[in-house]
Homo-oligomer: A and B are copies of this chain.
Amino acid sequence: MTRTREPESKSKTSSPSSSSTGMKLIVPLQGVVQGRGGILLGSLIPCALFYFFQLYLKKRRRSNDKHPSSNPPSPSSSFPELPRTPSRSNLSSRGSLTGVRLSRLATTISDDDSAYYVGLNRASRDPYHKLTNPDGIIQLGLSDNTLSLDLIGDWMRKWGSGGDDGLSINGIATYQAFDGVDELKLALSDFMHQVMGGSVHFDTSNMVLTAGATPAIEILSFCLADHGNAFLVPTPYYPGFDRDVKWRPGVDLIPVHCRSADNFNLSMTALEQAYSQARKRGVKVRGILVSNPSNPVGNMLTQDMLYNLIDFAEDKNIHLIVDEVFAGSTYGSEKFVSVAEILESDSEYIDNRRIHIIYGLSKDLALAGFRVGVIYSFNKNVLATARKLCRFSSISAPTQRLVTSMLSDKKFIQDYFETNRNRMRQVHHEFVDALSKIGIKCAKSSGGMFCWADMSGLIKPYSEKGELELWEKFMSIAKINITPGSACHCIEPGWFRICFTTMSLDEIPLVIERIRRVVEVCKFSS
């Protein structure tokens, strides 16, 4: 605000003196050159003078601007510097909370106001434990999966006792390829083939490995869009996208609202509308970002919808980013279709250079702590840039070695998937069933680690405010952390994401009992 106001007031106060100086030059000139020509000159010369004065002011302003643009002023600028203020006078200036000035990013980024992060933090400070902290907060706000941790543990023990076949120092202490070692890429390509039902092959040369899917999304954003550009994203969406796409890449997310009436499936009309509205506002849309299976709803994109999205991206000359981190965490009867599958089958007709896939092991192999993410892209230029940028987000070599061994054990991976899928299906079924018995319905879902539960009947008023009040009741009365729909930018109030993969079958009655308390309080007070 200050920035746009300052120059105007400057030029206003300066203009009288400037034109009166101009007058001294112009008036005699007009005396000499008589007639229409004189009047013309008398009009043109001040115009020219004023124009150059504006130019001068503009240049001067640029070199002294308190809030510089992304380009530093030209070093060749010949205009004098404003008198330098003593450094101490900066102490209380903007961006300097403590007297020591920080960047605008440091003073503006914040995840503290989102109920998603607030909930995670509160739950981590007072975590439930059956024996040591039975009144603690049960964490159902994080898509961790502990259902099949025992299998991973068994494998690790076996591997750890393997002696020299285990973790030796050769080829892990010194610098390694920052975008991932070839052995891990190969193992991941086989693994992803297996996860996607054997229907598509993944080429290791299209892979860049990163320290988790989070930096994979950030790096892709840096590659595809400039600061101030935007991606379209169907809502409700994963709360972390805001952090990954907006913070450092500075790319905006434009919501494309999906509705409960359509089980939160994306409508192409809404997508088209959001795109053209953004263009009308002058925003440059550079891509569509979708998660499939969807986080937080858990529904999946049909093959038809994937074709529609590809066509849309092609038509608008924008990118399509599909986050498939839950590809192997499905439990329904529907078959998951990777966008890679479509590209493989229709490779002649589709320009695959605008399609990019995000993958990782945090969900499908429940190894969130390992930080293994994948950018899978068909665009050589994106891959080249991502390979440079993953210097800042590379996976440590011991972990690469460990994960390579684990993924190469095909028998183990197959057993894990079978067992994990059965356990997820069972817990999901029991939990959704128990919720419905206390009057809470969930959206139809077939993947992901969460239920998307409709509690709109429990909120009052029917608004984000009501939703957050209900969320607060879950925290304080039920001692359960779940994610309110507003944190996922859901347009309809009253929906909540409840992760079910951090509770065992045995714990469902306890969780339901705690939820019931809130339901009763709400009924009682209405």
Task: Give A contacts to B, CB under 8 Å.
Answer: 11, 15, 19, 22-23, 26-27, 30, 36, 39-40, 42-44, 46-47, 50-51, 54, 62-64, 68-73, 75, 77, 81, 84, 87-88, 90-91, 97-107, 109, 111, 142, 144, 146, 149, 152-153, 156-157, 160-161, 163-164, 166-176, 211-212, 214-215, 218, 222-230, 243-244, 247-248, 250, 252, 279-284, 286, 315-317, 319, 351, 353-354, 362, 366-372, 379-382, 385, 388-389, 391-399, 402
Q: Which residue of B lies closest to A43 (CB)?
A: B46
Inter-chain contacts of A316 with B (CB < 8 A)? 87
One of B72, B247, B319, B397 near A228 (C-beta < 8 A): B72
A321 to chain B, nearest CB (A): 13
Bound-state CA distance A100–B391 (Å) is: 24
Enumerate the 8 nearest inter-chain pairs by beta-carbon distance, A residue then B residue, closest first: A369-B397, A87-B317, A153-B169, A73-B282, A63-B282, A396-B399, A106-B385, A72-B228
15 chain-A/chain-B pairs, Cβ below 8 angstroms:
A30-B39, A42-B42, A51-B54, A68-B229, A144-B175, A153-B168, A153-B170, A167-B402, A211-B392, A214-B391, A215-B393, A248-B392, A369-B396, A370-B397, A371-B397
* Contact present for A317 and B223 (CB under 8 Å): no
Bound-state CA distance A23–B317 (Å) is: 45
Bound-state CA distance A154–B467 (Å) is: 58
* Contact present for B279 and A175 (CB under 8 Å): no
A86 to chain B, nearest CB (A): 9
* Contact present for A70 and B69 (CB under 8 Å): yes
Copies of this chain in its oligomeric complex? 2
A330 to chain B, nearest CB (A): 20
* Contacts A103-B226, A225-B103, A282-B72 given; does A174 touch B211 at CB 8 Å: no
Bound-state CA distance A107–B224 (Å) is: 10
One of B50, B90, B163, B282 near A161 (C-beta < 8 A): B163
One of B100, B173, B369 near A174 (C-beta < 8 A): B369
* Contact present for A395 and B396 (CB under 8 Å): yes
A108 to chain B, nearest CB (A): 10
One of B87, B385, B393 near A109 (C-beta < 8 A): B385
Additional A-B contact list (6), CB under 8 Å, known A106-B381, A244-B392: A26-B39, A26-B43, A81-B279, A91-B317, A174-B369, A218-B392
* Contact present for B228 and A71 (CB under 8 Å): yes
* Contacts A43-B19, A87-B317, A98-B379 given; does A392 touch B166 at CB 8 Å: no
Of the listed residues A149, A173, A280, A371, the one surrounded by the most CB atoms of chain B closer than 10 A to its CB is A173
* Contact present for A368 and B102 (CB under 8 Å): no
* Contact present for A214 and B392 (CB under 8 Å): yes
A118 to chain B, nearest CB (A): 14
* Contact present for A174 and B228 (CB under 8 Å): no
One of B84, B90, B103 near A279 (C-beta < 8 A): B84
* Contacts A173-B152, A174-B368 given; does A42 touch B39 at CB 8 Å: yes
Inter-chain contacts of A353 with B (CB < 8 A)? 98-100
* Contact present for B39 and A19 (CB under 8 Å): no
* Contacts A98-B379, A248-B389, A282-B73 given; does A152 touch B169 at CB 8 Å: yes
Bound-state CA distance A180–B311 (Å) is: 43
Inter-chain contacts of A175 with B (CB < 8 A)? 142, 144, 362, 368-369
* Contact present for A174 and B153 (CB under 8 Å): no
One of B103, B161, B226 near A223 (C-beta < 8 A): B103
Bound-state CA distance A69–B67 (Å) is: 13
Bound-state CA distance A368–B397 (Å) is: 9
* Contact present for A77 and B163 (CB under 8 Å): no
Inter-chain contacts of A317 with B (CB < 8 A)? 87-88, 90-91, 100-101
Q: Which residue of B lies closest to A105 (CB)?
A: B222
One of B77, B315, B391 near A243 (C-beta < 8 A): B391
* Contact present for A68 and B226 (CB under 8 Å): yes
Q: Which residue of B lies closest to A26 (CB)?
A: B43
Of the listed residues A46, A63, A142, the one surrounded by the most CB atoms of chain B closer than 10 A to its CB is A46
* Contact present for A157 and B168 (CB under 8 Å): yes
